[in-house]
């Protein structure tokens, strides 16, 4: 018996109804091929509304300064810092889920791992925004990148937490993206061979 797969003798069947591999494949690819339902459009419109609210809020913060987030001389932990820590925690949760399932050698972990790694990537992308907005002058955010320049003695401050946020987020995002790509490597090939939608077959071929 393989160490990576354990079949329980008492667990009920995961697929019911005496379905063959073709029927299982059709059930998996059906959400990709069918048109979105009204409930999907409702959720989409709500998401777009929240995204618009977020864009307006960030625009006001860039125009009027970080004081919009209650940051001042006596308050050092405002809306942006707490959100940064929160999103990093969400990313850690996705990594922890994948690591625990791998350590316990769960053969059914593939689908859960994909969702967890996707959650980690999007959480890191969200977290990476807040150090930029925290700078106030977002058009000068490239100053935190240690690259050869013509500014003379003006160089990045390696004692600054913002610089280490850049290193941490970029490293975390790169590792999570590589792991997610490895986990999803077979999914586009599977979808391309199974689906009848021309756009999906073209993109994944």
What percentage of the chain exceeds 90 in pLDDT? 8
Crossing angle for the helix pair 21-33 and 186-194, to the nearest 10 degrees: 90
Q: Which of 102-116, 126-140, 175-189 has the highest mean pLDDT?
A: 126-140
Segment 155-163 long-range contacts (CB within 8 Å, at least 24 positions apart)? 162/131, 162/134, 162/135
Mean pLDDT throughout 53-62? 88
With a cut of 70, say whether residue 192 has pLDDT above it. no
The candidate with the shortest Cα–Cα distance to 122, out of 99, 94, 161, 100, is 94
The candidate with the shortest Cα–Cα distance to 106, out of 187, 2, 21, is 2
With a cut of 50, say whether residue 1 has pLDDT above it. no
With a cut of 80, say whether residue 37 has pLDDT above it. yes
Query: What is the structure's pLDDT at 46?
Result: 97
With a cut of 90, say whether residue 47 has pLDDT above it. yes
Query: What is the structure's pLDDT at 56?
Result: 93
Higher-scoring residue by pLDDT: 202, 112: 112
Mean pLDDT throughout 166-176? 84
Structure tokens that stand for 106 in this block: 């769960």
pLDDT tens, position by position, 82-106: 888 888 888 888 888 877 877 777 7
Mean pLDDT score of the chain, rounded to an integer? Answer: 77
| Residue 42 binned pLDDT confidence (cut-offs 50, 70, 90) | very high
Domain ranges in the chain? 35-64, 76-204
In contact, 60 and 68? CB cutoff 8 Å: yes
Distance separating alpha carbons of residues 145 and 99, to the nearest angstrom:
31
Query: What is the structure's pLDDT at 145?
Result: 74
Distance separating alpha carbons of residues 117 and 110, to the nearest angstrom:
11
Higher-scoring residue by pLDDT: 93, 72: 93
Query: What is the structure's pLDDT at 52?
Result: 96
| Residue 44 binned pLDDT confidence (cut-offs 50, 70, 90) | very high
Query: What is the structure's pLDDT at 69?
Result: 78
| Residue 107 binned pLDDT confidence (cut-offs 50, 70, 90) | low
With a cut of 80, say whether residue 53 has pLDDT above it. yes
């Amino acid at each position: 018996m393989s160490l990576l797969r354990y079949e329980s003798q008492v667990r009920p069947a995961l697929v019911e109804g005496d379905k063959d591999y073709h029927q299982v494949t059709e059930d998996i690819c059906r959400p990709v091929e069918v048109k979105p339902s009204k409930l999907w459009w409702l959720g989409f419109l709500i998401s777009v509304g929240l995204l618009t609210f977020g864009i307006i809020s960030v625009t006001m913060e860039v125009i009027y300064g970080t004081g919009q987030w209650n940051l001042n001389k006596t308050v050092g932990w405002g809306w942006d810092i707490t959100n940064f820590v929160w999103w990093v925690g969400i990313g850690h949760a996705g990594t922890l889920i994948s690591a625990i399932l791998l350590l316990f050698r769960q053969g059914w972990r593939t689908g859960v791992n994909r969702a967890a790694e996707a959650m980690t990537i999007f959480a890191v992308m969200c977290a990476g925004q807040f150090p930029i907005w925290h700078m106030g002058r977002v058009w000068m955010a490239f100053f935190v990148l240690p690259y050869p320049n013509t500014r003379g003695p003006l160089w990045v401050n390696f004692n600054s937490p913002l610089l280490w946020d850049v290193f941490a987020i970029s490293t975390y995002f790169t590792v999570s993206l590589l792991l997610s790509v490895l986990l999803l490597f077979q999914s586009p090939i599977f979808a391309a061979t199974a689906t009848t939608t021309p756009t999906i077959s073209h993109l994944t071929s």
